[in-house]
Amino acid sequence: MTQGLARVEELFEARNPKLVAEISDIAGTVEVSHSNNGALVKVTAHNLEEEEYYFGEDFEAVVKEGQQIKAKQILAKNTKEKGRITASFSGEVKKISAGMIVIRDTEKRSYEYSFDLGRTLLVKTGDTVKIAQKLTEGNLSIQKLMQVG
């Protein structure tokens, strides 16, 4: 009973739990490898993903359709103030329209998660995971869920 109340308190205060479960940043297929130091979990997306970046009238695109871009590259700059929008991943500019830039992957995305010995994995090689699915035991972090979702 008291453990449940402590978790409710963590949720209401938006605190991270003591044992945080790692969740997948993308939907995809799992590959697990083990070493003397722990485990490495790699999640590879099933498909090429697209991401949309929205901006206001004060912004001007600095990339062109068809252009290859790198992660953290500037996509649009504010013409009146010091502001900019940067890409969160590498890819190709698929579409530019009023107030929006669409970036498409050129390769399937993959994320790697490293875990120390003693962490209990909830996935194995060949498993298919959804976005925000738990990879390890533990409680979910609200901050991480908001970031991924």
Show me where the domains of the chain are located. 2-46+108-148, 50-104
pTM summary value: 0.72
For residue 149, name the pLDDT band (cuts at 50, 70, 90): low
Q: What is the pLDDT of residues 55-77, one digit of tens each?
A: 988 999 999 999 999 999 999 99
Which phi and psi angles does 22 have, rounded to 5°? -80, 135
Which contiguous run of DSSP H or E holds residue 59? strand 59-61
Contacts with 103 (C-beta within 8 Å, 6 or more apart), sequence order: 50, 51, 53, 69, 75, 87, 89, 91, 92, 93, 94
Q: What single letter denotes the amino acid at residue 112?
A: E
Q: Per CATH, the architecture of 50-104 is what? A: Beta Barrel (2.40)
* pLDDT at 12 exceeding the cut of 60: yes
Q: Do 50-104 and 2-46+108-148 fall under one CATH topology?
A: yes
Q: Which CATH number fits domain 2-46+108-148: 3.20.20.70, 3.40.630.30, 2.60.40.1120, 2.40.50.100?
A: 2.40.50.100
